[in-house]
Structure 1
Amino acid sequence: MPVSDMVAMTLDEVAALSRAILTRHGLSPDHVEAVTATVVAGERDECASHGVYRLLVCVNTLRTGKVSMDAAPVIHDVAPALVRVDAGGAFAQLAFERGLPVLAAKAKANGIAAMALNRCVHFAALWPEVEAVVAHGLVALATTPSHAWVAPAGGVKPLFGTNPIAFGWPRPGAYPYVFDFATSAVARGEIELHRRAGKPIPEGWGIDADGQPTTDAAAALGGAMLTFGGHKGSALSTMVELIAGPLIGDMTSAESIAFDDGAGSSPYGGELIVAIDPAGFLGAQAAEHIARAEAVFDGITGQGARLPSQRRYEGRARSLANGVRVPRPLYDDLQRLLD
């Protein structure tokens, strides 16, 4: 998009816009701050589908009445290495924020710990949460179902969510090793952005309502998305359904979309986060073995390959130095949310 069609913003201005929009639509102050942090992180890291665009998604969900605007998370200390946080039907960010110190303490006390976020509304990527866990010196794994938007391999009807899996590994220096990917061929937000821009989607992203391959974004959104890697992505998506659904007493993607009942809100359900303390396995030798892992990363980058999140980190450096640019049509849509 030409520069003339973009709006330059500082990250402080992005945060102020997010706070103004969310407050205007009734979200309570603690939730406003937690959600804003996620929105700013997406925009800062040049993840267009998880930046300020998500404010449109948040407001739409608020308007449906399918998310609590002010529920206070309730922490349940259920076992030495397990914690559950009941979000009370609110966005997931505040529940995660309140539960993270408990998860980190349990992981360091026991070597490994898991946190279940229950009854929460999801609209964002998982990498901000994984990065927050890794900041405690822990290895992290997070996953969540969503709405039933994705057909299983060989099928034509939506059953799975986009079902992301995120992983984080602590490294020396500013940035950890992090990957976060949907088990669908692409995040749903990417298809939404193609629809907004009137652009075709690549083959393999989705099928239409008749089960036929399509490059029309709107047709794919009305049909079914596809898993990445065929049966392999489908199997991983099944795993996510199980360990972040029934295992923690929360909804599957099919149950989430049934709960939505056509309202068009964001997915409702649970999230599972596992944290592992290297010192739990290795004791005083933990730092030595974490350092050995650098040879793996050097082996990747040394042959010209890219590490996951490298583009995000490069985008982060640019945004911290120069601010961000938001497409004018999207900026105008966001301004209308303040009316």
Structure 2
Amino acid sequence: MSLFDTEAYTCLSVQEVYELSFKVLTAAGLAEDQATSVAKVITAGERDECRSHGLYRLPGCVQTIQSGKLNKDAKPDIKDVTPALLKADAKFGYSVLAFDQAVDALAAKAKQNGIAALAINNCFHFSALWPEIEALTQRGVAALAMTPSHAWVAPAGGKRGLLGTNPMAFGWPRPGPNPYVFDFATSAIARGDLALHDIAGKPIPEGWGVDKDGNPTTVAREALDGAMLTFGGHKGSALSTMIELMAGPLIGDLTSLQSMAFDDNQKLAPMHGELVLAFDPGLLGGGDLETQSARAEQLFAAFADQGARLPSQRRFEARQRSLADGVRVPQSLYDRITALDL
């Protein structure tokens, strides 16, 4: 159930969500190619009822665009480094345009070599990772993506922000329209979802965050001003640290702590790097793609046999509803967006 189910709303078609997003982004000064990629992922979030990554992100995008730190006209520089490695310098623009311009080459390299990597550097990042993962599964490859963020999250046993929310996403191509995909933060909850609880005045479960003194809290605002926590205690903390290293120093980019220092308390989108890995199931599976695909489908079928839901199933169901009936945007959010000073 949405936090806003009892609030007045405006109904928009999926196309209208895109048009509104593109209009706002370009009015804020973002170049059309950047705005196209950003509006596309905002629309995907709203369409799939991932509201913390949909139109809710638009005012923050405007703030980042107008900050002077984001390069509004950035043209990513895509370099073919080795047969299995691409480097994309986003030039201090948004990560999603760099990904869009590199995705075909990344999938092609994976199919040629079995595995390939795309390192995106110097990018502002605000979006969910699953749209990128889906783009790769549509090209017939499995994929793994990860990125740091800002140092909002305390490590296990700590009381102050050090790690990012540090999301990770994975996808596996399947017969039919929908791949197997998961996308989650290594924090106990995504920061956007925590902020939505704050906006709605809803309490949060214990274990999501601590206040500025390091005490457990069920008040979203106190956790936002204090520190978030990782899921799974020390296990989530270790996984988050791995992402810091792999999508930071490994690819020559910033950690979440360094991203926050770059932000200098302007509260903009994080600026750092992203690592995307692509795998060809046919080549890695010894050339017998049919057998390997059948083994995967047997595993997925076993979930359904015991009534378990695969990750993203709810999102795919929401997608069909939104395409048919449109999306419900909280009136307060819609009014905030349309009242932006652009």
Name the TM-score, length of structure 1 as normaliser: 0.98
Is the partner of 2:188 in helix, strand or coil? Answer: coil
1:45-194 equivalences in 2 (<5 Å): 45-194=48-197
Contact 2:180 2:311 in 1 (8 A): yes
- Partner residue in 2 for 1:270: 273
Paired with 1:65 and 1:147, the residues of 2 have a C-alpha distance of 19
Q: 1:300 aligns with which of 292, 299, 303?
A: 303
Query: Structure 2 CA distance, aligned partners of 1:93 and 1:4?
Result: 32
Give the Å deviation of 1:287. Answer: 2.1
Q: Any unmatched runs of 5+ in structure 1? A: none
Q: Is 2:53 the partner of 1:23?
A: no
Aligned counterpart for 1:224 among listed residues 224, 227, 246 = 227
- Aligned counterpart for 1:5 among listed residues 4, 8, 23: 8
Q: Give 3-state SS (helix, strand or coil) of 1:140's partner.
A: strand
Report the residue type matching 1:253 in the other structure: S
Kept in 2, the 8 Å contact 1:45–1:312? The answer is yes
2:331 is aligned with 1:328: yes
Letter in 2 for 1:72: K
Distance 1:106 1:89 in 2: 25
Q: Distance in 2 between matches of 1:62 and 1:284?
A: 46
- C-alpha distance in structure 1 between counterparts of 2:341 and 2:282, whole Å: 49
CA 79–2 in structure 1, closer or farther in 2 if over 3 Å, else same: closer
Q: Distance in 2 between matches of 1:166 and 1:3?
A: 31
Match of 2:243 in 1: 240
Instruction: Give the 3-state SS of the residue equivalent to 2:175 in structure 1.
Output: coil
Cα deviation, 1:182-241, whole Å, max 9, x if unaligned, reads 000000000111111121111111000000011111111110000000000000001000
Confirm or deny: 8 A CA contact 2:78 2:89 kept in the other structure.
yes
- In the alignment, the residues of structure 1 paired with residue 146 and residue 114 of structure 2 have an alpha-carbon distance, to the nearest angstrom, of 20
Greater shift, 288-297 or 131-140, is seen at 288-297
1:167 and 1:180 in contact (8 A); partners too: yes
Distance 1:16 1:66 in 2: 25
Equivalent runs, 1:310-329 vs 2, <5 Å: 310-329=313-332
Post-superposition offset of 1:284: 3.6
Residue 220 of structure 2 aligns with an amino acid whose one-letter code is A
Name the CA distance, whole Å, in 1 between partners of 2:6 and 2:186: 34
Amino acid across the alignment from 1:82: L
1:50-106 CA distance string (max 9 Å, x none): 111010110111122221111100011111100100000001110000111111111
Distance 1:303 1:333 in 2: 44
Q: Deviations over 1:81-140 (max 9, x none)?
A: 001000000011100001111111111111110000000000011000000011110010
* Contact 2:109/2:115, CA 8 A, preserved across alignment: yes
CA contact (8 A) 1:66 1:265 kept: no
Code of the aligned partner of 1:77: D
Over the matched positions of the two proteins, sequence identity in percent amounts to 59
RMSD (CA atoms): 1.1
Determine the C-alpha separation between the residues in 1 that align with 2:209 and 2:340.
Answer: 30
Contact 2:7 2:330 in 1 (8 A): no
Question: What SS is found at the alignment partner of 1:279?
Answer: helix
Cα distance in structure 1, aligned partners of 2:285 and 2:161: 44
Deviating beyond 3 angstroms after TM superposition, the runs of 4 or more aligned structure 1 residues are 1-4
